[in-house]
Amino acid sequence: MEPVRIADADDPRIAEFRSIRERDLTGREGRFIAEGTVVLRMLAGAHRKGGDFVAEKILLLENRVAGLREILAGFPDDVPVYVASAEVLDRIAGFHLHRGVLALGWRRQERSPADLIAGLPEKALVVAAFGISNHDNIGSIFRNAAAFGADAVLLDQACCDPLYRKALRVSVGAVLSVPFVRSGTMNDILAALTGSGFAVWGLSPAGALEIRDVPASGRMALITGTEGEGLPADILSRIQTARIAQAPGLDSLNAATATGIALYEIAMAQGRL
Structure confidence by residue, pLDDT tens digits, 102-158: 999 999 888 899 999 999 999 999 999 999 999 999 999 999 999 999 999 999 999
Task: Note whether 121 and 250 are same-domain residues.
Answer: yes
Domain that holds residue 30: 4-107
Q: Are strands 31-35 and 101-107 parallel, antiparallel or unpaired?
A: antiparallel
Domain shared by 195 and 134, yes or no: yes
Q: How confident is the model at residue 249, as a pLDDT?
A: 81
| 144 and 234 belong to one structural domain | yes
- 252, pLDDT greater than 80: no
pLDDT higher than threshold 80 for residue 26 = no
> 228 pLDDT exceeds 90?
no
Could you report how far apart the first and last alpha carbons of the chain are, in Å?
A: 41
Same domain, 118 and 227: yes
- CATH of residue 250's domain is 3.40.1280.10
Please give the DSSP secondary-structure letter assigned to residue 159: S
Residue-level pLDDT at 182: 96
**Which CATH number belongs to the domain containing residue 101 in this structure?**
3.30.1330.30
Residues 220 and 135 in one domain: yes
pLDDT value of position 28:
83
End residue of a domain, out of 47, 73, 107: 107
Task: Give tens-digit pLDDT for 34-83.
Answer: 999 999 999 999 988 877 899 999 999 999 999 999 999 999 999 999 99
**Interatomic CA distance for residues 139 and 192, integer angstroms:** 24
Tell me the C-alpha distance between 264 and 110, whole Å.
Answer: 28
pLDDT at 98: 82
Report the domain count for the chain. Answer: 2
What are the b/e assignments for 199-221, b being 16+ CB within 10 Å?
A: bbbbbbeebeeebeebeeeebbb
Q: What is the DSSP string of 101-112?
A: EEEEEEES----
Same domain, 144 and 249: yes
Instruction: Using alpha carbons, list the distances in angstroms from residue 151 to 37, 127, 209, 223.
Output: 24, 8, 24, 14
Residue 29: which pLDDT band, with cuts at 50, 70 and 90? confident
User: Does pLDDT of 1 surpass 80?
Assistant: no
pLDDT of residue 204: 94
**Secondary structure of residue 48 in the 3-state scheme:** helix
**102 and 192 fall within a common domain:** no
Answer yes or no: do 171 and 244 share one domain. yes
Report long-range pairs for 10-17 (Cβ below 8 Å, ≥24 apart): 13/57, 13/80, 13/82, 14/57, 14/59, 14/82, 14/84, 14/92, 16/56, 16/57, 16/104, 17/59, 17/92, 17/93, 17/102, 17/104
- Residue at which a domain ends, from 73, 107, 141: 107
| Judgement on whether residues 26 and 142 belong to the same structural domain of the protein | no
Strand order in the sheet with 4-5: 4-5, 81-84, 53-61, 101-107, 31-35
Map residue 177 onto helix, strand or coil.
Answer: coil
Query: Is 28 strand, coil or helix?
Result: coil
Q: Which of 107, 141, 168 is the last residue of a domain?
A: 107
Shared domain check, 170 and 85: no
- Cβ neighbours of 161 (radius 10 Å): 16
Rg (CA), the chain: 20
Percent of the chain that is helix, strand, coil (3-state, to 5)? 40, 20, 40
62 class by beta-carbon count within 10 Å (0-12 exposed, 13-18 middle, 19+ buried)? middle
**Domain co-membership, 90 together with 40:** yes
The angle that helices 255-269 and 135-147 make with each other, rounded to 10 degrees, is 10
pLDDT digits (tens, 9 = 90+) for 150-206: 999 999 999 999 999 999 999 999 999 999 999 999 999 999 999 999 999 999 999
Residue 179 and residue 122 share a domain:
yes
